[in-house]
Chain A
Amino acid sequence: DVKVTQSSRYLVKRTGEKVFLECVQDMDHENMFWYRQDPGLGLRLIYFSYDVKMKEKGDIPEGYSVSREKKERFSLILESASTNQTSMYLCASRGTPSYEQYFGPGTRLTVT
């Protein structure tokens, strides 16, 4: 079974702090994705990566950056956390040629 793990289930940070969310997958998937999930808005794509060191902006990249130094690991970075970044963050991975994305359990981030 594909396993996608995220470094924290719950995280509380202060406004202005730098926040790192880590995601690791164990299936040698080329593609990895970061989403945020807010009530009534579904899942919105922040960034994705289709290869090591490659990244593409999603629909809502503002205020975020990403890093993919190794194939199995994809990090989401909030350079200066703000209260409007309080959300559930979900990581997913996908292997070519399938379209199915496998999701991690999510990190619920609260910025105070």
Chain B
Amino acid sequence: GESVGLHLPTLSVQEGDNSIINCAYSNSASDYFIWYKQESGKGPQFIIDIRSNMDKRQGQRVTVLLNKTVKHLSLQIAATQPGDSAVYFCAENSNAGGTSYGKLTFGQGTILTVHP
């Protein structure tokens, strides 16, 4: 029989463009956020993280922005390359109660496709 699944958000860009991937998080008590990249057939790989006491953090070609007022997180990738094509996940850690053991809650993911 035919199955119907949820569709991931997608972003399609040209090589060299800047990419912005957005994520809304749910828990105002979350104190840590992380972005992962998952290429086809591989496990998620760490890209960049940010703590709730920061608004912005930069890495190599990537920047994460955190807006706690509207519970929004974004990942900016500068000069996007074909090798950046992957699924990108945001994740949050909610340390409410102090015994979360570092559990992360993941978003559904966004598919980024970079065209040469």
Chain A residues with CB under 8 Å of chain B are 4, 31, 33, 35, 38-45, 48, 50, 56, 58, 90, 92, 94, 96, 98-106
Contacts and interface: CB of A to CB of B under 8 A. Distances in A.
Interface in B16-64: 32, 34, 36, 41-46, 49
Nearest to A108: B41
10 contacts: A41-B6, A42-B106, A42-B107, A43-B89, A45-B104, A50-B101, A98-B102, A99-B32, A99-B93, A102-B46
Task: Output the residue of B5, B41, B104, B108 with the most chain A CB within 10 A.
Answer: B104
Interface of B: 5-8, 32, 34, 36, 41-46, 49, 89, 91, 93, 101-104, 106-109
Give the dominant DSSP class at B's interface.
loop
